[in-house]
Amino acid sequence: MDTPITTLEDVRRWLTHEARFVAGTGEIAQALVERLRAAGLPIDRFTTGVPSLHPQVDSFSTLWDEAEGLTFRTFRRSNMAALENSPLFVVYNEGVTVRCRLEGPAPADEAGILAELRSDGITDYVAVPLPFSDGSVKAVTYGTRAPGGFSDAQVAALESLRHEIAVAMEIRYLRHMARTLMDTYVGPVAGRRVLDGAIKRGMGETIRAAIWFCDLRGFTALSEKLAGDAVIDLLNDYFDVVTAAIEGADGEILKFIGDAVLAIFAPTEGEDEAAAAGRALTAARAAVTALAERNAERAAAGKTEIGLGIALHFGDVHYGNVGGANRLDFTVIGPAVNLASRIEALTREVGRTVLVSQGFANLHGGDFETVGEFALKGLRANQTVFAPGG
């Protein structure tokens, strides 16, 4: 059981010792506020932000409010212009504390966040810079509904904790950044394995999974015909459709190979192989439907339409680290991956968008149409391939 906190020095010691063992940013924010309030600081609102290397999100913010409790917010890069009219803009760029008393008349040019706080009963708002070891400046904010706001001594007390809070926040920032980079560039499942220590060449396991391999039709010709920005726009639309379909069916995207996408659908706990295959086929159908909708939008805008081919197979793959001594890739390899790639190449030849192997069709057990038996490059025996029915 925690010892009751009654002094600012207790808070300072907690930040430099126990706080680093608190599980998450939200938990540490709430625990910090509880200790500050116990030390006599009338805090009714507290925020902290964690900058992000996510491609769409600039920062994640924790907001604690005495009336509402703990909530989490994200700020997208497209919305960051609003920051320029905020006290935080001064904190980030000048590294100084900003205090805004909100009990008097509001000035005509008052920042939107201050108007919101004023209407919510906040009487005093203090934004304190947090110096990080890389030279950047982050911030925490405090608000109170106490009549008269914070005393000058209380503001000084909050400022005096900035270095200790910065250390605790930077630890979380580094953890968050590592997870975000892994999720973005490796994938959440493989990324988690890497962060858990699966970092040596050859480290991995053999698993059975549904294998997805897809490719953009005619990309070489399109890249020669279209302007560079049109090619990027086309690729973004194509990848948006494919990744959303895979992730929507709980698949794991492992690799972008030029315009090709390699993914797997491994059975989850309590799920059999047929169910994993079902998720893979659901994703393929979702991609085809979404691509048709996206192509209708592109056609209406006078843009080139997108074609793709998808192959599904089920088999054994080695799932783990491969590569050079100092440059590794966490992926899947094996004959099953090669077969999926060869079947995808066949989609152009037979004019089908989705093809599956006999092993996949047999395992899935659904309605499939036999397309034919084909000799595939690099495979000794001819392969019978199928197209989904219905």
Instruction: Please give the Cα distance from 8 to 18 (Å, whole number).
Output: 15
Strands 354-357, 308-323: pairing is parallel
Give the model confidence (pLDDT) of 164-204 as tens digits: 988 888 877 766 666 666 666 656 665 566 655 555 555 66
258: three-class secondary structure by DSSP? coil
Predicted pLDDT of residue 27: 82
- 73-77 long-range contacts (CB < 8 A, ≥24 apart) are 75/49
* Domains of the chain (ranges, CATH numbers): 8-183 (3.30.450.40), 187-388 (3.30.70.1230)
- Whole-prediction pTM value? 0.64
Residue with tokens 């000794």, as numbered in its chain: 380
Predicted pLDDT of residue 78: 47
Predicted pLDDT of residue 168: 85
Predicted pLDDT of residue 200: 56
Give me the residues of the chain with pLDDT under 70, please: 1-5, 24-25, 50-60, 73-85, 174-204, 323, 325-330, 390
Contact by Cβ (8 Å): 331, 337: no
Predicted pLDDT of residue 198: 54
Closest CA to 29 of 49, 55, 58: 49
